[in-house]
């Protein structure tokens, strides 16, 4: 079998070069920017279209999903709740769907845990978080919508039966709501309570996202009993001109090592992360900083830009993330929602919309400047047939096709090297104020460069009518190098509907190039490509909808379109199996 093929991206001559190839077989809320379609919210799904459904990402059998809510580990079981429309594939009729797992990969669907039914949430049960109270008692804080004006309050729910290993049924006591906005708070932008943490003073604290004018802020509340909450006089943190803050997350990270910490930890060897979802931009931003527990103030480090030009958890289609501490493996795990990039009418036609990205372990980079993120180790249990490739040289215009795996459903890890940085292109000073995404749109994968572009062509058709390139390009900017990482959906499909969203997502990678190497991992799954650059320093998720590159007609290539030769030091690619993903127990909600 021909497991790889070398050819040219462009009509340039090339030399056949030697690589080592080994093939293995084993068995081995409404958010303000949500578009609302009342006429479609309860359009029942008759026939689910599978052509772009994912094979190993989290999603229910049908219908709309958005924010992951209240992920937790409790008595040996992982729980994830999520915003779900049981009656259609657009936003509306939202309940808290509930699934459980032993490994974060295979999921069992249960009955919805929380749904509108009381005066304090009759107009909506929106996002929130889970906290484990003393005595090993889980509790959920969530946002309830109480009227047609979208007035938002914060409620709680508790398990009906702690002896039930799956915590199937949840109760919303009548002493709700626990937190009501005062006259100084925008009641229609007051949502998504965080996991609570217990301070040394014996008070619980939680944060709620909001906006005052155009200032985004996290409002803090304190409680001794968890039942009676009082607003702290000042926000934990706020930033002018950032708009509404949704889905805040606040947690400590160790200065050294990859272990996670419980939300209540406050030792000297830790920093804190404040993450917010910006309603205006629809991206996830975070800073690394210091939490003053006496003043209840958070101050970002001077290396963290505090605003739209700041660090993002993911530079692509990734939003409303929620993290939790996993005590069974001493790690912090982040879940994120990836919305569709096609049209609402496409979603109605196919009968589903939205996925959750692969859970990521996260920890602080040794530099202390940013987080590192990596797919959880359990994902490797789905790896099947393997291709291993090494010592392949790519001249300008070359590409290698990776064969012997299933390119539409794969996990690929590759390390590139180069002998010199001399051919890095000058960074145009006029780009200084542009976002990385804008630079990627100018300098795409087909634009010849010096050191790069090089990387992967994922979900590609045989003749490259369609492909989603994930690649690096190195620039020389004054006395330093800038590494651009792109995941470009602009050529991902021949479908050219005016409302099809096909952006050139991108971010810069803060990496030391002394060793002249760059690594990339991409999780490819039919309509999603999740990529992790330089060991998880920069992450980009793209949603794409090829018309030719589907199922067995999808291809995977490694390419170089720079004048500097690139060497594939190692490439490991696996076909990925299908987990048990929310197979229905017969619940009408699924």
Catalytic positions are: 67
For residues 217 and 545, what is the distance between their CA atoms, to the nearest angstrom? 36
Burial class (CB in 10 A: 0-12, 13-18, 19+), 256: exposed
Looking up tokens 């219908």 gives: 63
CA angle 490-495-497, nearest 5°?
A: 90
Q: How far apart are CA 71 and CA 107, in angstroms?
A: 13
* β-pair partners for 560: 454
Rounded distance, CA 469 to CA 5, Å?
Answer: 18
Nearest CA to 448 among 567, 564, 566?
564
Q: Is 227 exposed, middle or buried (0-12, 13-18, 19+ CB in 10 A)?
A: exposed
Residues in the chain, overall count: 590
Spell 340-375 as b/e; 16+ CB within 10 A means b. bbbebebbbebbbbbbbbbbbbbbbbeeeebbbbbb
- Which residues sit opposite 333 in a β-bridge? 324, 361
Distances (CA, A) of 252 to 71, 133, 263, 402: 17, 18, 6, 41
Q: Is the dihedral of CA 538, 543, 548, 553 positive or negative?
A: positive
Q: Indicate the pairing of strand 360-364 with strand 331-338.
A: antiparallel
**In angstroms, rounded to a whole number, what is the distance separating the alpha carbons of residues 548 and 550?**
6
C-beta separation of 209 from 235 below 8 A: no
Cα–Cα distance, 354 to 318 (Å, whole number)? 11
Q: What is the CA radius of gyration of the chain?
A: 24
- 19 contacts: CB under 8 Å, gap ≥ 6: 4, 389, 390, 391, 392, 400, 568
**CA nearest 322: which of 297, 288, 359, 289?**
359
């Amino acid at each position: 079998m021909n497991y790889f093929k070398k050819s040219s991206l462009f009509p340039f001559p090339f030399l056949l070069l030697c690589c080592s190839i080994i093939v293995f077989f084993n068995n081995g809320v409404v958010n303000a920017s949500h578009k609302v379609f009342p006429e479609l919210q309860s359009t029942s799904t008759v026939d689910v279209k599978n052509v772009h459904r994912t094979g190993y990402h989290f999603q229910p059998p049908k219908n709309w999903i958005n924010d992951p809510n209240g992920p937790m580990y409790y008595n040996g079981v992982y729980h994830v709740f999520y915003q779900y429309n049981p009656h259609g594939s657009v936003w509306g009729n939202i309940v808290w769907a509930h699934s459980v797992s032993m490994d974060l990969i295979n999921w069992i669907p249960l009955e919805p845990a929380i749904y509108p039914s009381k005066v304090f949430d009759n107009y909506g049960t929106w996002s929130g978080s889970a906290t484990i109270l003393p005595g090993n008692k889980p509790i959920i804080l969530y946002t309830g919508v109480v009227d047609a004006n979208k007035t938002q309050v914060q409620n709680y729910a508790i398990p009906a039966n702690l002896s039930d290993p799956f915590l199937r049924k949840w109760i919303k006591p009548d002493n709700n709501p626990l937190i009501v906005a005062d006259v100084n708070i925008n009641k229609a932008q007051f949502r998504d309570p965080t996991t609570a943490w217990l301070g040394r003073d014996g008070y619980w604290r939680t944060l709620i996202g909001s906006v005052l004018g155009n200032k985004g802020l996290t409002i803090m509340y304190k409680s001794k009993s968890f039942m009676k909450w009082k607003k702290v006089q000042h926000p934990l943190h706020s930033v002018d001109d950032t708009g509404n803050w949704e889905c805040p997350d606040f947690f400590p990270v160790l200065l050294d090592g990859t272990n996670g910490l419980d939300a209540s930890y406050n030792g000297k060897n830790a920093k804190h992360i404040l993450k917010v979802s910006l309603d205006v931009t629809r991206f996830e931003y975070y800073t690394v900083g210091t939490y003053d527990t006496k003043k209840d103030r958070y101050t970002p480090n001077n290396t963290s830009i505090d605003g739209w030009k700041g660090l993002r958890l993911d530079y692509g289609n990734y939003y409303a993330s929620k993290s939790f501490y996993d005590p069974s493996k001493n790690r912090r795990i982040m879940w994120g929602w990836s919305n569709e990039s096609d049209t609402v009418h496409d979603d109605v036609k196919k009968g589903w919309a939205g996925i959750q990205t692969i859970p990521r372990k996260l920890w602080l980079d040794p530099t202390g400047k940013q987080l590192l993120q990596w797919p959880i180790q359990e994902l490797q249990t789905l790896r099947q047939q393997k291709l291993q490739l090494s010592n392949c040289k790519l001249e300008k215009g070359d590409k290698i096709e990776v064969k012997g795996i299933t390119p539409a459903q794969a996990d690929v890890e590759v390390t590139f090297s180069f002998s010199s940085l001399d051919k890095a292109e000058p960074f145009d000073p006029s780009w200084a104020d542009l976002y990385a995404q804008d630079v990627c749109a100018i300098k795409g994968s087909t634009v010849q460069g010096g050191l790069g572009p090089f990387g992967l062509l994922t979900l590609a058709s045989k003749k490259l009518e369609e492909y989603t390139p994930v690649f690096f390009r190195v620039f020389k900017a004054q006395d330093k190098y800038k590494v651009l990482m792109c995941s470009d959906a602009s050529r991902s499909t021949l479908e050219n509907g005016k409302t099809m969203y096909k952006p050139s997502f991108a971010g810069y990678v803060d990496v030391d190039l002394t060793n002249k190497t760059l690594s990339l991992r991409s999780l490819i799954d039919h309509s999603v490509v999740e990529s992790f650059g330089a060991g998880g320093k920069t992450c980009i998720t793209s949603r794409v909808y090829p018309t030719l590159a589907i199922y067995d007609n999808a291809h995977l290539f490694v390419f170089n379109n720079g004048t500097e030769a690139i060497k594939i030091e190692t490439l490991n690619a696996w076909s990925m199996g299908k987990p048990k993903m929310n197979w229905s127990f017969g619940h009408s909600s699924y």
